[in-house]
Amino acid sequence: MATVTHQTAPTQFVEAEGVRYAYRRLGSGGEVPLVMLQHFTGNLDNWDPGLVDALAAEREVILVDYPGVASSTGTPATTVAEMARQMITFTAALELERIDLLGFSIGGFAAQDMALIRPRLIRRLILAGTGPKGAPGMHGWRKDIETHARATVPTAEDLLYIFFAHTDTSRAKGQQFLGRFSARGENRDVPSSLAARDAQYDAVLEWGIPDHSALQRLTGIQCPTLIVQGDNDLMIPTKASYLMAGLIPDARVRIYPDAAHASLFQYPAEVAKDVNEFLS
């Protein structure tokens, strides 16, 4: 029987509270499933197959579209708190009582909230290319990044500009990512809508409103946490990773060189190795 991979995993659906959640499930092993929460406007196919398959080689992996995003029905969340509640509802619909959780970018915002409001659900937490609520530099993105991220019809150049460092070496790895990203030829997920884009950017802005007191929330995260980011993230300041690591009681941080927002797509094998070791 052929092994199911990121490229061949079928899209499945589960209904809860009037929403039909689109998700994919692959791999086996590990103490609990690893649920992965996607970046701004990202869908099931926006994950790097190299990363997902390397993770799924050692554990079960579950990818999901947020409500109102890509193939999931429902209304997209306009706050991170709402998004976190939606993802808790999704895990309950799959009858998952305990999970590991990886959140990338806005998915990392939601993952922090999930760990705070449903601590019994999260065994271990990975925060990738993300930052804490209310921290300096979190209230929206600089103009050039916002322009590329909010493009009406996103292009490969938009992804390269946002995700990878503006160096020849990082962009070359970005081109390799684009090849992996576009390799799935059949049953691809549908693009996210402009309404989903606008709702998610509202959530980004609300999360980033300067609020020094909100940083203390991180001291309530009880689970062991791995923080990963590029050394020059142009979307979310890399210094935010060090801030999170200093406030989450049991946290470690891994910064990848010559990398920007999507270090986990630039170094999929290395990140998968670090995550698998952390979860083991």
Domain residue ranges in the chain: 12-279
Assign domain 12-279 to a CATH class.
Answer: alpha beta
Exposure on the CB side of residue 201, measured as CA atoms within 13 A: 16
Q: What is the DSSP pairing of strand 225-230 with strand 251-256?
A: parallel
CB atoms under 10 Å from CB of 116, counted, come to 17
**98, containing H or E segment:** none
pTM to 2 decimals?
0.97
Residue 268 contacts by C-beta under 8 Å, 6 or more apart in sequence? 48, 50, 51, 54, 177, 180
pLDDT, tens digit only, all 280 positions of the chain: 568 999 999 999 999 999 999 999 999 999 999 999 999 999 999 999 999 999 999 999 999 999 999 999 999 999 999 999 999 999 999 999 999 999 999 999 999 999 999 999 999 999 999 999 999 999 999 999 999 999 999 999 999 999 999 999 999 999 999 999 999 988 999 999 999 999 999 999 999 999 999 999 999 999 999 999 999 999 999 999 999 999 999 999 999 999 999 999 999 999 999 999 999 9
Q: Which residues are 252's β-sheet partners?
A: 226
Return the structure tokens found at 253.
């941080």
For 8, 115, 195, the CA distances from 269, given in Å and listed in that order, are: 20, 26, 34
Supply φ then ψ for residue 212, to 5 degrees: -60, -35
User: Could you give the CA distance from residue 278 to residue 259 in angstroms, rounded to a whole number?
Assistant: 21
CB 7 within 8 A of CB 184: yes
